[in-house]
């Protein structure tokens, strides 16, 4: 295996479809623990997971006067719980039904004195099966999970660089377990019209608060049965007139079925300069949203950040 294949591995959706479906639900169980115990933050920023040096983690979660965190480790293939009082426990990531994974996570927390009840119904999934009853999804291919995480490592690195070129309000780079994607969002600073809602298995109040202000949002998504390919994406809410007609890299397109620009992951991983292609996609689609939406770009934008160099005023 060469360096390029390690950095940008193959991630054919059909090849890891069953593992992806199971892992999506496992991340929801882990994320819902954070949701149950963390004070609400604007745009649901208290619920996502974050890319770590070994997988996906919650960051610290409060419990009484202490903290704990959960990490899906895709190197050693364990779910690890670490606590501020020195405790550490783990369970193996291996083929197992969602119902069994759910029970093991709750038992692990209970054994550590952390009492938590999570919502049993998966979010943003059509016809969801409660976690405790789901014996349909039970696949786990460690090589596929590791490859998925390796893609997230590259996306996280470049999204953070892209984020550094914006002075206005911007989200962290974070992994939303409901939609199973890594995302970063920029805000114009203006209020948005009320979102219509209608996201499967998600309260409209959550969606409407998330989209309370105008956004240009980009991310990486591994695909699903309706769109069976991994892709980077970018969209605007509300979508301004002329947005879809913007000039973007030739390997990208506006996908009508999704209502957003997409750049196939395979186009990035096979490009002569993957970093440059992805950054061009992020910049051009953001520019399309900002120009069509008449954002105050001069006030909101800046040069990309440089390590250890103070930003010039």
Tokens at 172, concatenated? 């962290």
pLDDT bin (cut points 50, 70, 90) of residue 3 is low
Percent with pLDDT over 90 in the chain: 96
Average pLDDT of 223-238?
97
Q: What is the CA radius of gyration of the chain?
A: 20
Model-level pTM? 0.96
Average pLDDT of 228-246?
97
Each domain of the chain, given as residue ranges in start order, spans 13-133, 142-300
Average pLDDT of every residue of the chain? 96
Average pLDDT of 280-293?
98
Provide the pLDDT for residue 313: 83
Segment 274-281 long-range contacts (CB within 8 Å, at least 24 positions apart): 274/7, 274/8, 274/154, 275/158, 277/249, 277/251, 278/155, 278/158, 278/232, 279/158, 279/161, 279/162, 280/249, 281/232, 281/234, 281/248, 281/249, 281/252
Can you name the residues that pair with 191 across neighbouring β-strands?
213
pLDDT digits (tens, 9 = 90+) for 6-32: 899 999 999 999 999 999 999 999 999
Q: Are 133 and 99 in contact (CB under 8 A)?
A: yes
In the predicted structure, residue 2 carries a pLDDT above the cut 60: no
pLDDT digits (tens, 9 = 90+) for 40-87: 999 999 999 999 999 999 999 999 999 999 999 999 999 999 999 999
Other Cβ atoms less than 10 A from the Cβ of 195: the count is: 17
In the predicted structure, residue 4 carries a pLDDT above the cut 70: no
Percent with pLDDT over 70 in the chain: 98
pLDDT bin (cut points 50, 70, 90) of residue 1 is very low
Among candidates 213, 200, 208, 161, which has minimal Cα distance to 184?
161
Strands 181-191 vs 213-221: parallel, antiparallel or unpaired: antiparallel
Among candidates 99, 95, 98, 50, which has minimal Cα distance to 70?
50
Tokens at 122, concatenated? 């998966």
Provide the pLDDT for residue 6: 84
pLDDT digits (tens, 9 = 90+) for 133-179: 999 999 999 999 999 999 999 999 999 999 999 999 999 999 999 99
Provide the pLDDT for residue 5: 65
Task: Give the chain's length.
Answer: 313
């Amino acid at each position: 295996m060469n360096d390029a294949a390690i950095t940008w591995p193959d991630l054919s959706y059909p090849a890891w479809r069953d593992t992806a479906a199971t892992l999506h639900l496992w991340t929801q169980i882990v994320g819902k623990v954070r949701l149950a115990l963390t004070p609400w933050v604007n745009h649901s920023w208290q619920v996502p997971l974050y890319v770590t040096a070994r997988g996906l983690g919650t960051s610290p979660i409060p419990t009484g006067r202490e903290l704990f965190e959960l990490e899906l480790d895709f190197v050693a293939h364990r779910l690890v719980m670490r606590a501020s009082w020195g405790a550490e426990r783990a369970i193996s990531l291996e083929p197992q039904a969602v119902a069994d994974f759910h029970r093991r996570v709750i038992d692990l927390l209970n054994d550590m004195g952390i009492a938590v009840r999570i919502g049993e119904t998966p979010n943003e999934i059509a016809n969801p099966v409660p976690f405790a009853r789901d014996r349909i999804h039970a696949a786990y291919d460690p090589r596929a999970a590791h490859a998925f995480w390796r893609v997230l490592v590259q996306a996280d690195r470049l999204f953070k660089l892209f984020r550094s070129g914006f002075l206005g309000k911007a989200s962290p780079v974070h992994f939303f377990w409901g939609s199973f994607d890594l995302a970063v969002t920029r805000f114009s600073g203006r209020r948005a019209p009320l979102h219509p809602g209608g996201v499967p298995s998600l309260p409209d109040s959550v969606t409407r608060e998330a989209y309370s202000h105008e956004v240009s949002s980009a991310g990486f998504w591994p695909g699903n049965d309706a769109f069976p390919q991994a892709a980077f994406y970018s969209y605007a809410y509300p979508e301004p007139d002329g947005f879809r007609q913007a000039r973007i890299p030739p390997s990208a397109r506006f996908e009508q079925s999704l209502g957003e620009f997409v750049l196939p992951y395979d186009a990035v991983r096979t490009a002569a300069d993957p970093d440059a292609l992805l950054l061009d996609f992020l910049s051009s689609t953001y520019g399309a949203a900002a120009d069509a939406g008449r954002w105050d770009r001069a006030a909101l934008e800046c040069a990309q950040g440089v390590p250890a160099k103070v930003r010039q005023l």
